[in-house]
Structure 1
């Protein structure tokens, strides 16, 4: 069962609608006591990373999230929260990945935010992308991106410059795109996350 971190910065309705479509059960994590009810966790997020981190701090959930050993998926700003630092608000994040969240260079990428469908380079061996073909299109809405790093990048996208469309490290995963708005491919990714096992 999936627990959704409910900290006031997530697009909860779209996410729960997608989980309903694929028949996955879920509940809301409002306090640390709620975490133990679930075998995997999703951190949603839209808007400003610095403000989202402030809300997450206010929720009191930060130390519990950082200690989790069960699968965790950050979506969009929820993924950016997993990094060490974001230029959006010049704020420290959860520091679960030694990566930075940076603003798109308009001279390289053109129009910002990066909004709409874009293809993603999918690795052959990622459990998060099982049954999803390379260069599948996912839906993005963001002005900030996580730097590409071969150690932690689980899938790559290019918008004027390469960036991490997905990251993974141990039991933590993140996707910059919105699987809940990405049709069948996004639904498959959510199903994949629901079955990931951590050794």
Structure 2
């Protein structure tokens, strides 16, 4: 038993080893991976506008997906955190869409609330913009989506992102500049020529 424990402790030294163990069904490795990243994933879910209960649900769903897809998780700089945050963003987005649909159904049943709701034109415009942003982000490479989430959505500094991606500060700065230019071009196609760097 002692030898087994020490082997497991050695295996949990980094996310790559943890994922290899999780993909074989090792629940202790999964527990270690969960303990390592759960607080950050929860804070990220909460930062996306979810209430504490919803953020807990989303966090749980993210780790269920991580367990089921451990063999296919794309590590960034040896860490699962960027993958977990991208997954968290996607799960949160689905959760928020469901909540909005539920609220709209409820609003439709209550004429007095419906009169205070945004008009159809504003709602369509909001949805179109939201869909355009989501589409522009999903068109980025996986690594660029991770970098966008870490720095733009989650507020990581260039230095923190550089450490997570195991690259230099300058590489992060240049990649973020390109990501911003691509997103601007996707959201304002008429200005595409002016945003080329």
Q: TM-score range by the shorter chain?
A: under 0.3
Query: Scaled by the length of structure 1, what TM-score is found?
Result: 0.23
Q: Which has the higher helix share?
A: 2
Larger radius of gyration: 2
**Larger RCO, structure (CA 8 Å, separation 6 or more):** 1
